[in-house]
Structures are given as structure tokens and as C-alpha cells.
Chains A and B, each alone.
Chain A
């Protein structure tokens, strides 16, 4: 699950820079992934909101593990956290306003106990993703109090919060110097960047997340984008080469003929889409761009209607003739004509899609994390599973390391009563110990260091990770591993960075011991066929990747003028609506007519003005990076 979370948060982080208003809707869906494992049956048709209510109720009550004052164990203090020993401090509860969380209520389970033992802190998470979305953020901003710890407030909301005096300056009273030495040590550039962009060079209003440095992709073993296909069926077809998107459809058609029914006897489809993550366009159609090195926006400005190339100065308008977005619409239109597109696509939510993946009803995925729910030990041991299959001409979009930090900013609320305690906690999350333990639990439980000082998973670790319902011993908080995972859902340092204490990456899927651990039949067959161990290794080796380098000019992105914002909203609505109609068009004529209608309407509502403004932003900032 951590992997899923990571990818999703990466996808989100990128999106939120461009369409932050919508981000609530975008991330919201992830919850259902977690949820659905338990609630498969009820999950079927329950509308998102109804489900979320159910979920948070269950999550809150399930694995609560109250730790009394007296029973706290002495916290382990490593060299790094020596200054932050909080074991003698009074118990407090911090309100965490977390724009990335998909869990609301008190953090429970093993992570809850870990934080309580070390810091005597309980985390009460408020999650706009679950209720209210963008409006919840707006309400909280108007109320004038964002809680103690503020996570993932990105883009315009963040600058507005600073302007409104809702965030604490970390330089005030030497807070950062006293309690944040590890953040200064491990994310110095990110602190400087925040200060330059938002604090006028003197104040610091937080630190970006997912900080990393170095060249190359920052992803773990899987990339953010595939395509991933049912490897067993693909092999039965003799692993035909896929040169372009049309080949992909043909292969999928043959796979569908091989496996016309799912595990539970339902008809199979090549793709199943969902509309509840859409912002100004159909998200699924847009991902086509990401298979070819383009992505919406430029990862810095608020420009969601242009597609920019990850590693060179090039952009296209979403509706340009033959833009990757239009190719995406065409691709899914053809898929629908061939009977490869789930007819429920338009009306269902991501949770429904996730259920279909689990059942084996869908044969391909744009996102590796979306199809990974099918890769259960039972399926894998039976030789069935999803794996990456390259398209010859593709360039997988990849986020490079960002020393300045992502939009998933860690900040402290201006009205907090405990600035030092919050700072101590955030500081710990930036230490090697904090990263390892907040992701994989305390040392000795799921992981340990071997005689050479290298990390390896314990037997329990192999069973529990990434996020399985495996019981955790009572002394570590009880409950099961999945329910106790860190619900803050925001990385501090990039997990693919090297842990200075072990010399290996933080991400367990990249540990030598893990890669050498005997793989399941599907992974083994894939590795043998591809000659590499992971998707990342493959795309790097065969140059099927475009890495987007971090951009920094010391300034915050330009504010979207009110008229452009209104036009974008209206244009986006038209694009979204007509895109879906085009994908499900009954004939070529209808497809072309809808396309024409979309153009006329979008242009009439100010599409050109929006594109001009967005492209100007790109040319003036990120594009200059490639011109040097």
C-alpha cells in the first residue's frame, strides 16, 4: 500500500500544482482502494460519500490502542533524535489538517503507538479528502485556524494561508534552530526554497515533502505509469511486440478472447475508466500523454490545460490536433468499438474499478498501482499477475529528484499551543530513523539490520508489506498492519534516497536483500523475459523514460487571474463532458461531430485565452530551464 500511496501522492502532487482546486476529488479515491479490501461486497455500488462515512467510522473504532501514561516504554533515541527526547513531556493531542490523508480521526495501531511512545503525542487527523474536499479547505481557511500540523496545503491555498496569517514562521523564536536540526541537515535546499518563494527570504513557513537529490527518476521499483498487462495472458500470446497504441488494442483483443470471463464469471475488458478524478479533462485520456513523456502542466505553474514535455522545451494545447490528449480520446474510442472498454466507465467510481481489477475483469492498466491489487499471493502463486509491458515508442513520464521539495508541504498552524512539540515530531520524520519507522514500523518488527548492517525484512515483514491484514503483536500496538499504517500520507524525503545509516534506499522494494529474495512465479518469469528486476531498471536501460527535472527560480508561481480562472472552469467543463461522449461515440461521424462541437464551444468560452496565459507562464519559467 505504501507504494500505492507513494505513486498516488506523486500523481496528486503533480496534479495539485495545476489544478489544486480539484485535488480533493483526485486523492479521495485512494481511500476506496484500502477500504475495498474489507468491504468488497458492500462496496459495489455505494456512492463515494456514503462509503467514506462508513470507512472512517470503521477505521476509527477498529484498532484503537490506548496507551496509558504509566505504560509507556522508554523511547529509543538515536543519535539523530537525541535532542528531541520527549519521553518526559505531558501527553497531548495534535490536530493535523492533512490535505493528503485519506483517513480521519485519531491515528491508531502500530504507528499511533510508536508516535505516542516516542513523543507522547496523539494525532487527530482532519481529512478534507474524506469530507468536503476543496470546500472543506475553504471553510477551514475562513475559520482562521488550520490546526497544529498542516500537511499538503499546496499551490494557491498555501500562499493564501500565509497571506492570511494562518501559518507559523519557523524562524520565530529560533524554533527551527532549536528543534529542527535534522530538517536543516537532510533538507537544507527545501528550507531555503520555501523561504525564498514564500517567506521573502527571511521567514520559513514550512518545508516541502518528498525531498531528494541526484539525477534520474525518483520512482521506486515501479514507475508511475505503465502500461501493465496481464502477464500470463500476454505470454500465452507469445509476447507480441507492441509498437504503438493500435498494437496494444490488438493484443488486448486477443487477450480478451483468451480470457473472456473473470474469476467470478463476469465479462472481461481491456480498460475500465472512472470519472471521479477528472478535473478539467478526462483524467484517463490525459494519462496517454504520460506514456509518451508529456504531462498536464509543467509541475510548477497553474497550467493544467497544456501538456508539456518532461525533459525538453515543448508544449501542446490539450485540444491541439493530434495532441496526446486527443490521441487518448481516439484510443479509448477505438477500444470501445472493439468491445474493450467497460461500458460502466462513465458512471462508476474508482472503488468500483479497483474491485474489478481484484476480480480479474480488467486486462490492462495505465497505472501500475491500480492493477497491483490483483497481484495477491494467491494469484501470483497461480502464475497470474500484472506486469509492465513496454510500448516501443513510449517515454514513461517520470518525476526527477526535487531538492526543493514537492507541493506536499509540512507546515505548522499559527494558532498552535505546542509549536516545539510539533516541530520535534516533524523533525523526527525527516531523520533516517523516522523515515524507516514511520513507513515500516519499529526496527525488529517488520525489518531489521543483518550482520553486515544491511536492512532486510523479517518473516512478518514479507507477509505484512506493502499493506496487508497481518496481525501485529500487542506490544507494538496490536491490531493489524494495514490499519495501523501511517495515515499522514506525505513523504518527507524521497523513499528512493539512500539511507546514510545502511547505505541502501529507504524503499524496501529496492533493498538488495528484497530483490534477491525468492520471487513469485510471475515476477520471476517477467524478470527472465525482460532481463531486469524492476520496471524502472527496464525503462532506464532501454531509454523509454523522460525525467522531469526540478525547477526553481526563487519565486512562487504566478496567480491565476480571476477571468482566466473562470474561463478555465467553463472550458474544462466542456472538455470533460465532450471527451466522455467522444470515447463512447457510436460512429466515426459522431466522433468527429462531437470533436467539432467541443472545439467550437471551448473556443467560444475562452479556450485560446486560457492556453495563451498558461503557455506564457510555462515559457517564462520552466521552459527557460531547457534553453540554457
Chain B
């Protein structure tokens, strides 16, 4: 840009005006982050090369067998294969879709929370609901196992002792309502955490708006509907668009720890499938091939969502 400017104006005074005196300083300040982006986002792309080899740990790539596009074609090589892929993608999109549907819950929760007048109670509620976010899925599963196991599970024992059930059942090994149950776990874990951003957004709304609305005779619900909700809508939208980009990344650890033979048909998302077939069996080439496709799909979804946002709201997120 500078170069073209100099060419056009050919004047040192104008050039000075357009050049930032601090440009090197600013660039230096940004460079650690640029380097991080380069290291963690662009350098790993080199690893895509493994998708074309039969890589085995320890053996350099130069001595590994070249496989061409075998790993890519093997994903869809026959009807059963395609069925499997279809099943896995259905699960992935189902969990992502349910995740999006439930993404309004933190908004509602945040609004309700800010409406609480007793600040001690408010803080207790917020702490309690935020805490689960910091518990790893591994521990969540042990907790679930303690609650629901047949012999020692708290829930089964309680229901059994109260004579509400005749036979203890293994809830964790049931294939029914897997999507719903997994989504509920996720909501339980993420509700408080997800609300934090919206609470911040609500705090940022100009109090004068509320005062003006009150003067106009708005009650509590109208305040919420006409001031609070529009005030946090843009935050919600940005988060929604970003989440579309990761539509195909439904997550891994939750499904990994909760998966078993009974629920596998409904719980196996793409990442878990890659782990089960690729990583656990040492098929690194295959695992890489699938994740390349995943990255491409994410990219397409993201640009689609962004242009949709431009179309609907007149502005994109990037």
C-alpha cells in the first residue's frame, strides 16, 4: 500500500502522513501472536502429507509406502462403508443441531439471572451453575457411573428401596434417547459458563435505555423484550455464526467416555469414529484424510454462514 502511494503522490510529506511512525513497534507487538498462529494453525497443515502415506511411528516418511488417495477413497468404497459414514455424520449433525437449539438457553438463563435482585443468591446460583464447566468429562462419567450403575448406583438403589422399580436397570447402557441425554449433560455442564458472555453483554447495555423505557411505561417483561433482548442479539448472532463453522466438530471427550456397545450407533460422532478406526488401530493416514475433509467442510460452512449473515443482517463476522 505504501509503495503504491509513493508512486502516485511522489511526495515525501504525504508518505509520512500515511505511514505510522510506530509501525515497527506495533508489528513487533503483534508478532508473538502471528508466530503462534503460524505455529499452531498453519505449520500443522504440513501434516496433511500423512494422508497420502502409510505412516508408521518411527519410520521416516521417505521410507513409508505412498498410498495416493487410497485413504480418501476407502471412506466411501462400498455401500456399507457409505452407510457407516452417513450414520456417523447424522450423529454429528444431530448433536451440533441440538447444541445450536439449546444455545438460546444460556441467553434465557443470563436474562433471568440479571433479573434476580438478591445479589447473594444471584452469586451463589451463578457459581453453582458455572462450576460444572470446569469438571472434565472423565470425572463427569465417573459421577454418572456412581449415580446410575446397577449394583452400587445411587439412583438405582434409591428407586429400588422405595419400591418404585422392580428391577434395577443400566441406564448408561441404554440405546434410547442417546441424543437427548447427551445434550442434557452438555447443557448441565455449559449453561452457567455460556451465560457469562451474555451477562457481560447485558451489563454493557446503556442504563438510559431502561430509564427511557420505564418513563414510557414499560413493565419488567417489556423492558426485557424491548431493551435487553435486542441489546444482546448481536452477541448471540456472532456466537451462532462461529458455532456453525464448528458444526462438524461435535466434540470428542464427552462421547468417548459415555460410549459403549449399546449406544455406539447413536453416539459415534465423526471425531470418535476417526479415533476408533484411525488412532486406536494405528491407521494414522486414514485419520488424517478424514480430518482434512473435516477442515474443508468447516471452511465451506463458515463462509456460507458468513454470507448468510451479510445477507440477513447486512454485516458479516469477518
Question: Chain B: which residue is nearest A138 at the CB level?
Answer: B57
- A160 in contact with B286 given A343-B169, A569-B281, A605-B81 (CB within 8 Å): no
**Assembly CA distance A361 to B65 (angstroms):** 52
Out of A49, A347, A601, name the residue touching B173 (CB < 8 Å): A347
Q: Do residues B279 and A562 form an inter-chain contact, with CB atoms below 8 A?
A: no
Q: Say whether A619 faces chain B, with CB atoms less than 8 Å apart.
A: no
* CB neighbours of A592 from chain B (8 A): none
Give, as a whole number of angstroms, the nearest-CB distance from B72 to chain A. Answer: 12
Interface size on B (CB < 8 Å)? Answer: 50
Question: Chain B: which residue is nearest A166 at the CB level?
Answer: B58
Question: Chain A: which residue is nearest B277 at the CB level?
Answer: A569
* CB neighbours of B78 from chain A (8 A): 604-605
**Assembly CA distance A575 to B288 (angstroms):** 24
Within 8 A of B (CB), among A21-78: 21-22, 44-47, 49-50
- A347 in contact with B58 given A138-B282, A562-B65, A563-B74 (CB within 8 Å): no
Give, as a whole number of angstroms, the nearest-CB distance from B56 to chain A. Answer: 5
Out of B142, B261, B265, name the residue touching A576 (CB < 8 Å): B261
* CB neighbours of A275 from chain B (8 A): 260-261
Residue in B260, B261, B264, B286 whose Cβ sees the most chain A Cβ within 10 Å: B261
Within 8 A of B (CB), among A550-604: 562-563, 565-566, 568-570, 572-573, 576-581, 584, 600-601, 603-604
* CB neighbours of A50 from chain B (8 A): 138-139, 142
Q: Say whether A161 faces chain B, with CB atoms less than 8 Å apart.
A: yes
* CB neighbours of A141 from chain B (8 A): 57-58
Q: Do residues B74 and A600 form an inter-chain contact, with CB atoms below 8 A?
A: no
Within 8 A of A (CB), among B134-175: 138-139, 141-143, 145-146, 149-152, 168-170, 172-173
Within 8 A of A (CB), among B260-289: 260-262, 264-265, 276-283, 285-286
* CB neighbours of B315 from chain A (8 A): none
Q: Do residues A605 and B84 form an inter-chain contact, with CB atoms below 8 A?
A: yes
Q: Do residues A142 and B58 form an inter-chain contact, with CB atoms below 8 A?
A: yes
Q: Say whether A137 faces chain B, with CB atoms less than 8 Å apart.
A: yes
Question: Chain A: which residue is nearest B149 at the CB level?
Answer: A344
Give, as a whole number of angstroms, the nearest-CB distance from B41 to chain A. Answer: 21
Q: Say whether B257 faces chain A, with CB atoms less than 8 Å apart.
A: yes
* CB neighbours of B260 from chain A (8 A): 275, 346-347, 580
* CB neighbours of A343 from chain B (8 A): 150, 168-170, 173
Give, as a whole number of angstroms, the nearest-CB distance from A468 to chain B. Answer: 26
Give, as a whole number of angstroms, the nearest-CB distance from B254 to chain A. Answer: 13
Q: Say whether A309 faces chain B, with CB atoms less than 8 Å apart.
A: no
Give, as a whole number of angstroms, the nearest-CB distance from A574 to chain B. Answer: 9
* CB neighbours of B240 from chain A (8 A): none
**Assembly CA distance A47 to B141 (angstroms):** 8
Q: Do residues A573 and B59 form an inter-chain contact, with CB atoms below 8 A?
A: no
**Assembly CA distance A504 to B95 (angstroms):** 63
**Assembly CA distance A584 to B262 (angstroms):** 9
Out of B57, B143, B261, B286, name the residue touching A142 (CB < 8 Å): B57
Out of B59, B172, B282, B285, name the residue touching A163 (CB < 8 Å): B59
Q: Do residues A344 and B151 form an inter-chain contact, with CB atoms below 8 A?
A: yes
**Assembly CA distance A577 to B173 (angstroms):** 12
Question: Chain A: which residue is nearest B56 at the CB level?
Answer: A160
**Assembly CA distance A166 to B67 (angstroms):** 25
- A346 in contact with B262 given A138-B57, A163-B58, A568-B281 (CB within 8 Å): yes
Residue in B54, B143, B145, B278 whose Cβ sees the most chain A Cβ within 10 Å: B145
**Assembly CA distance A563 to B285 (angstroms):** 11
Q: Say whether A266 faces chain B, with CB atoms less than 8 Å apart.
A: yes
Q: Do residues A134 and B282 form an inter-chain contact, with CB atoms below 8 A?
A: yes
Residue in B67, B173, B257 whose Cβ sees the most chain A Cβ within 10 Å: B173
Q: Say whether B93 faces chain A, with CB atoms less than 8 Å apart.
A: no
* CB neighbours of A577 from chain B (8 A): 261, 264-265
**Assembly CA distance A605 to B76 (angstroms):** 11
**Assembly CA distance A277 to B276 (angstroms):** 14
Q: Say whether A313 faces chain B, with CB atoms less than 8 Å apart.
A: no
Q: Say whether A156 faces chain B, with CB atoms less than 8 Å apart.
A: yes
Q: Do residues A46 and B142 form an inter-chain contact, with CB atoms below 8 A?
A: yes
Out of B63, B71, B81, name the residue touching A604 (CB < 8 Å): B81
Q: Say whether B70 faces chain A, with CB atoms less than 8 Å apart.
A: yes
Q: Do residues B283 and A160 form an inter-chain contact, with CB atoms below 8 A?
A: no
Interface of A is mostly: helix
Give, as a whole number of angstroms, the nearest-CB distance from A261 to chain B. Answer: 12
Q: Do residues A44 and B261 form an inter-chain contact, with CB atoms below 8 A?
A: no
* CB neighbours of A563 from chain B (8 A): 70, 74
- A347 in contact with B139 given A573-B276, A580-B262 (CB within 8 Å): no
Residue in B58, B84, B138 whose Cβ sees the most chain A Cβ within 10 Å: B58
Out of A134, A163, A342, A603, name the residue touching B151 (CB < 8 Å): A342
Q: Do residues A604 and B170 form an inter-chain contact, with CB atoms below 8 A?
A: no
* CB neighbours of B314 from chain A (8 A): none
Residue in B56, B138, B285 whose Cβ sees the most chain A Cβ within 10 Å: B56
**Assembly CA distance A41 to B81 (angstroms):** 45
Q: Do residues B79 and A604 form an inter-chain contact, with CB atoms below 8 A?
A: yes
Q: Say whether A439 faces chain B, with CB atoms less than 8 Å apart.
A: no
Q: Say whether B80 faces chain A, with CB atoms less than 8 Å apart.
A: yes
**Assembly CA distance A50 to B282 (angstroms):** 24
Out of A21, A49, A346, A348, name the residue touching B280 (CB < 8 Å): A21
Within 8 A of A (CB), among B97-143: 138-139, 141-143
Q: Do residues A44 and B152 form an inter-chain contact, with CB atoms below 8 A?
A: yes
Give, as a whole number of angstroms, the nearest-CB distance from A129 to chain B. Answer: 15
Q: Do residues A579 and B138 form an inter-chain contact, with CB atoms below 8 A?
A: no
Q: Say whether A377 faces chain B, with CB atoms less than 8 Å apart.
A: no
Q: Do residues B169 and A600 form an inter-chain contact, with CB atoms below 8 A?
A: no
Question: Chain B: which residue is nearest A600 at the CB level?
Answer: B80
Q: Do residues B283 and A566 form an inter-chain contact, with CB atoms below 8 A?
A: yes
Give, as a whole number of angstroms, the nearest-CB distance from A86 to chain B. Answer: 31
Within 8 A of B (CB), among A594-627: 600-601, 603-605
**Assembly CA distance A267 to B157 (angstroms):** 12
Q: Say whether A512 faces chain B, with CB atoms less than 8 Å apart.
A: no
Give, as a whole number of angstroms, the nearest-CB distance from A556 to chain B. Answer: 14
Q: Say whether A139 faces chain B, with CB atoms less than 8 Å apart.
A: yes
**Assembly CA distance A139 to B173 (angstroms):** 33
* CB neighbours of B279 from chain A (8 A): 135
Give, as a whole number of angstroms, the nearest-CB distance from B42 to chain A. Answer: 21
- A45 in contact with B145 given A347-B172, A605-B84 (CB within 8 Å): yes
Q: Say whether A164 faces chain B, with CB atoms less than 8 Å apart.
A: yes
**Assembly CA distance A146 to B282 (angstroms):** 19
Q: Do residues A344 and B150 form an inter-chain contact, with CB atoms below 8 A?
A: yes
* CB neighbours of B285 from chain A (8 A): 562
Residues 164-188 of chain A: 1 if any B CB is under 8 Å from the residue's CB, otherwise 0? 1010000000000000000000000
* CB neighbours of A137 from chain B (8 A): 57
Question: Chain B: which residue is nearest A20 at the CB level?
Answer: B282
Q: Do residues B282 and A21 form an inter-chain contact, with CB atoms below 8 A?
A: yes
Question: Chain A: which residue is nearest B82 at the CB level?
Answer: A604
* CB neighbours of B283 from chain A (8 A): 562, 565-566, 569
Out of A45, A356, A361, A570, name the residue touching B142 (CB < 8 Å): A45
**Assembly CA distance A456 to B257 (angstroms):** 48
Q: Do residues B57 and A44 form an inter-chain contact, with CB atoms below 8 A?
A: no
**Assembly CA distance A570 to B71 (angstroms):** 13
Question: Chain A: which residue is nearest B80 at the CB level?
Answer: A604
**Assembly CA distance A47 to B170 (angstroms):** 17
Q: Do residues A562 and B70 form an inter-chain contact, with CB atoms below 8 A?
A: yes
**Assembly CA distance A255 to B110 (angstroms):** 58
Q: Do residues A566 and B151 form an inter-chain contact, with CB atoms below 8 A?
A: no
Question: Chain B: which residue is nearest A567 at the CB level?
Answer: B74
16 A–B pairs (Cβ distance < 8 Å), ordered by A: A45-B145, A45-B152, A47-B139, A138-B282, A275-B261, A346-B260, A562-B283, A563-B74, A566-B286, A569-B278, A570-B277, A578-B261, A580-B262, A600-B80, A603-B80, A605-B81
Pairs of residues from A and B, 4 with the lowest C-beta to C-beta distance, nearest first: A604-B80, A580-B261, A141-B58, A569-B281
Extra pairs beyond A144-B58, A347-B172, A605-B84 (16, CB < 8 Å): A21-B280, A45-B149, A47-B141, A50-B138, A139-B57, A160-B59, A342-B150, A346-B170, A347-B173, A347-B260, A565-B282, A565-B283, A566-B286, A576-B261, A580-B261, A604-B78
